[in-house]
Amino acid sequence: MRDTMKGLKRSHMCTEVSEDLIGQNVTVMGWVYKRRNLGKLIFIVLRDLSGVLQIFVNDNEAELFKQTESIRPEYVIAVKGMVCKRDEGNINESIKTGSIEILADEIRILSKAEVPPFSIDDEDVKDDMRLKYRYLDLRRPALQDIMKLRNDTARAAREFLSEGGFLEVETPMLTNSAPEGARDYLVPSRVHKGSFYALPQSPQLFKQMLMVSGIDKYFQFARCFRDEDLRADRQPEFTQIDMEMAFVDMEDVIGVNERLIQHLFEKVMNVKIDIPFRRIPYKEAMERFGSDKPDIRFGLELTDITDFARETDFGVFKGAVESGGSVRLINAQTCGSLPRKQIDALVEYSKTYGAKGLAWLAINDGGEIKSSFAKFLTEEQTSRLIELADAKSGDLILICADKHTVVFNVLSALRNHLAKKLSLYDENEYKFLWITDFPLLAWDEDEKRYIAVHHPFTSPMEEDIALLDSEPGSARAMAYDIILNGVELGGGSIRIHQSDLQEKMFEILGFTKERAYQNFGHLLNSFKYGVPPHGGIAYGFDRLIMLMSGSSSVRDVIAFPKVKDASCPLTNAPGEVSDEQLKELGMGGNA
Residue 1 pLDDT greater than 50, yes or no: no
Q: Are 412 and 291 in contact (CB under 8 A)?
A: yes
Q: What is the pLDDT of residues 349-368, one digit of tens each?
A: 999 999 999 999 999 888 88
DSSP-H helix ranges across 433-570: 467-470, 499-508, 513-526, 541-549
pLDDT confidence of 96, banded at 50, 70, 90?
Answer: very high
Q: Are 415 and 329 in contact (CB under 8 A)?
A: no
CA-based diameter of the chain, in Å? 93
Q: Which residues contact 315 (CB under 8 A, 6 or more apart)?
A: 376
pTM: 0.92
Of the chain, the percentage scoring pLDDT greater than 90 comes to 86
pLDDT confidence of 2, banded at 50, 70, 90?
Answer: very low
Q: What is the pLDDT of residues 497-542, one digit of tens each?
A: 999 999 999 999 999 999 989 889 999 999 999 999 999 999 999 9
**Can you tell me the mean pLDDT for 180-197?**
89
Residue 233 pLDDT greater than 80, yes or no: no
| Residue 202: per-residue pLDDT | 94
Domains and their CATH numbers in the chain? 14-111 (2.40.50.140), 143-281+432-557 (3.30.930.10), 298-421 (3.30.1360.30)
Q: What is the pLDDT of residues 391-409, one digit of tens each?
A: 999 999 999 999 999 999 9
What residues pair up with 77 in beta bridges, in sequence order? 30, 109
Q: Are 493 and 527 in contact (CB under 8 A)?
A: no
Residue 3 pLDDT greater than 80, yes or no: no
282-289 and 404-421 are packed helices; what angle lies between their axes, rounded to 10 degrees? 60
Q: Are 222 and 203 in contact (CB under 8 A)?
A: yes
Give the residue among 150, 146, 49, 34 at the shortest CA–CA distance from 96: 49
- Sheet with 359-363: strands ordered across: 303-304, 326-332, 396-402, 359-363, 369-371
Q: Is the peptide bond before 533 cis (omega within 30 degrees of 0)?
A: no
Q: What is the pLDDT of residues 110-119, one digit of tens each?
A: 999 999 999 9
Backbone phi, then psi, for 141, in 5-degree steps?
Answer: -55, -35
Q: Rounded to whole angstroms, how far apart are CA atoms 384 and 308? A: 9
